Structure 1
Amino acid sequence: MADPLPYYRVLRDEHPVYYVEELDTYALSRFEDIWTVLGNTDGTFVASEGTLPSAAVLERHNDGPVPDPPLHPMPFHANFDSPIYENVRRCTSAQFRPRAAAKLDDRIRTLANERLDELLPRGRFDLTQDYGGIVAATMVCDFLGLPTELAPEVLATINASTLTQPGEGVEIGNSRPGYLSYLTPIIERRRAAGADGANPIADALINFRLPDGSALSDTEAATQMLAVFIGGTETVPKITATGLWHLLAHPDQLAAVREDLTANIPVAREEIIRYSAPAQWFARTLRRPYEIHGTTMAPGQRVIALMASAARDEREYPDPDRFIWDRPIERLLSFGHGQHFCMGVHVARLEVTIMMQEFLKRVPDYRIDEMAASRPPSSFQWGWNNIPVEV
């Protein structure tokens, strides 16, 4: 995780299906293979052990298919197969659909400029945390019904959760108590108020009924909000900040983008996402045998999709280690694919676009303090938590 790219190249070239015996898990590294596996909809691959299972989960070998978890206490809904997964996801996704996301333009632009009003006079600040992080966390507060003044606190809580050491893994599905200390009170307040739809996400979860007719408890409903709480806060700031860094490192490309920020930033954004999206992998567990490259994977075994390796696969992207702002991109795996495709993709793209546009509109010249930039250890992300900029 200190520098995964050379390892990914070896895997793609020599071991496209790499078996990790102690975890009974296969790693896939090529774009087309991952695209096909994640796009499979016949129930062969499920997330019943989590999309980000910890080492403790992977060390336990299965002797056959793994069923869905019990309904109660209900874990994060991504652990379930159809139809529970889709039905719970609908409770949290309404505000992130294309038409609803498009209406957020003015709000995001206002937040970006309010941050720049405060930050630019300082002359030096952190692109990831002070700029992108606060804007993204404020939007998450809007979505969930948290006071916006909590945005810095929410951002710090999420950041701390990803600083895991080797072997610890990521426990998104079970969540850390710090997350639920923000989310459970939202559910409690909305239940007491009657859950009349004023808070779309919380109220939909309170009114949701499982196939057996039971409702979600406060903790169970709060757990289903984790996708918004974490996903909306973690990735967008890193992509925005790293994108501004990549453009600065290629002055000719930055100049070309500046010629028309409205038209060119959305194009550059896709290459930035491909080149530097911080999430490295997601996992599935097999329920049926599956053959790939002459290897048959058995029910109960796991497959880890190395998304970041796929983003550098020369079979999909010519000269993939070069940053090319207007590279034609037909397919992208950075937001996932298939059943678990990121529900916040439209809002994420809009946030990255607007924050980069507003920064470049107002900042004619800037410098990244590369020696002070930091990429702390993580078992899941390879992203820059701190990118100091001087303007």
Structure 2
Amino acid sequence: MTSTVTQDFSYDPFDPAVMADPLPYYRVLRDERPVYYIDKWDTYALSRFDDIWQTLAVNDGTFVASEGTLPSATVLAHPNDGPVPDPPLHPMPFHANFDAPIYDGVRRCTSGQFRPRAVARLAERVRELANERLDELLPRGRFDLTQDYGGIVAASMVCELLGLPVELASDVLATVNAGSLAQPGSGVEVANARPGYLEYLVPLVQRSRAEGPGGNSIADNLVDFRLPDDSTLSDIEAATQMLGVFIGGTETVPKIVAHGLWELGSRPDQTAAVRADVEANVPVAREEMIRYCAPAQWFARTVRKPYTIHGTTIDPGKRVITLLASAARDEREYPDPDEFIWNRRIERLLAFGRGQHFCLGVHLARLEIGVMVTEWLKRVPEWHIDGDAALRPPSSFQWGWNSVPVEV
């Protein structure tokens, strides 16, 4: 495929052919076109690890997310004549569309339960949920590793953190999965407040407003939050700010766990090496699983000040997409990047982003992945993935396994 890609090269993140197997495209971009202009979308793509690492660290107003961190094709189809303004305060979109101080202020409303000490206190609960799932699943002999194991554990934690009944975990998981699907060529703007999401989240805000502080720290903080003009958030606006937890906390971790166990289990020597000291080795293998299996492909910014990279100056109003999945396979950062090596030395990762928009749930994600892999290795001596039945649904920004059938 690489030779075909090179002969007549064109990269478009919404092209179904690209998303069917983006890795050959990323290699050509890294090797030959590290700053690639996508004329159709008036957008530049960055593909090398260090370029993205340095670009995402810029925090002086050069880049903004006013058009969203995952703008759909309908957004990108309209070129900008110059710098784009901030979104209006009302109706307020997802806070990631703003720069400081609004972004930082709303993020603080949702961040308390995701700080390292708070997350550490969740370890036993995650372990309990993982073993409850294994108690139910292992006697079946065959089930879906993404949805039935990792998906329910992650969605259960999201329910508990947001104040939803844990019995809704399977419904939340299905709702988030459906919201991430995309029609070929169109993309998904994840920050859209779809009714399916808000049916869960608006009642949390309404309950907090009616009952007062004490029941749900995230909802309580959002109800009390005041914008720079001293206005407050409506119920829908406050619920919209929970989307990062609701979506991100539900869909990413299960894909990493399932794909990571698939890769590890297909290499008996590596599996044996990790099993030799599960408690010490799983945290090491977890980082390779994150590098190799993280499903998010790219995130976008809009340029507000001229930015020059590799001799190319990107003017205000242009968009830049940072190809995090390409960075994860950059041989300049990781020797033999297409190989899964459980004890690879990893000094830097971009799977969780970098800079102002660094993933809010990074500590919880690492905890959940580590616990679920650990409990699996302790309880499952052998497993086989039915690769022919595994499924990657269409998506403009994810290349992750939504379904990984496993036999134990």
**Normalised TM-score (structure 2):** 0.95
Q: State the AA in 2 paired with 1:343.
A: L
Secondary structure at the counterpart of residue 103 of structure 2: helix
What are the within-5 Å matches in structure 2 for residues 105-184 of structure 1?
105-184=123-202
Residue of structure 2 in register with 1:69 after alignment: 87
User: Residues 181 and 188 of structure 2 are in contact (CA less than 8 Å); yes or no, is this contact kept in structure 1?
Assistant: no
SS in 2 for 1:41: coil
Corresponding residue number in structure 1 for 2:394: 377
Aligned sequence identity (%): 75
Question: Where does structure 2 lack aligned partners over 5 or more consecutive residues?
Answer: 1-18
Q: Secondary structure at the match of 1:284?
A: strand
2:248 and 2:306 mapped to 1: Cα distance? 31
Q: Distance in 1 between matches of 2:179 and 2:374?
A: 30
Spell out the pairing of 1:212-361 with structure 2 (5 A cutoff).
Answer: 212-361=229-378
- Cα deviation, residue 166, structure 1: 2.1
SS at match of 2:20: coil
Instruction: Describe the superposition over 1:159-207 as per-residue Cα deviations: whole angstroms up to 9, x where unpaired.
Output: 111121222211222221111111011111111111x133110000000
Aligned partners of 2:154, 2:301: CA distance in 1, in Å?
Answer: 28
| Separation in 2, partners of 1:133, 1:96 | 19
Q: How large is the RMSD of aligned CA atoms in angstroms?
A: 0.7
Match of 2:219 among 182, 190, 202: 202
Give 1:25's aligned residue.
43
- Distance between the aligned counterparts of 2:74 and 2:318, measured in 1? 15
Structure 1 residue 71: deviation in Å? 0.5
| In 2: Cα distance, 1:135 partner to 1:276 partner | 18
- What do the CA deviations read for 1:16-41 (whole angstroms, capped 9, x no partner)? 00001121100000001111111101
* 3-state DSSP of counterpart to 2:58: coil
Amino acid at match of 1:383: G
Name the CA distance, whole Å, in 1 between partners of 2:80 and 2:271. 51
Tell me how many residue pairs correspond in the alignment.
390
Q: Distance in 1 between matches of 2:378 and 2:335?
A: 31
Would you say the 8 A contact 1:12–1:313 is kept in 2? yes
Alpha-carbon distance in structure 1 between the residues aligned to 2:43 and 2:261: 37
Give the aligned residue type for 1:186: L
Partner residue of 2:97?
79
Gaps of 5+ in 1: none
Residue pair 1:77, 1:85 contacting (<8 A) in 2 also:
yes
Letter paired with 1:388:
P
- Contact kept in structure 1, 2:48 and 2:327, CA below 8 Å: yes
SS at 2:189 equivalent: coil
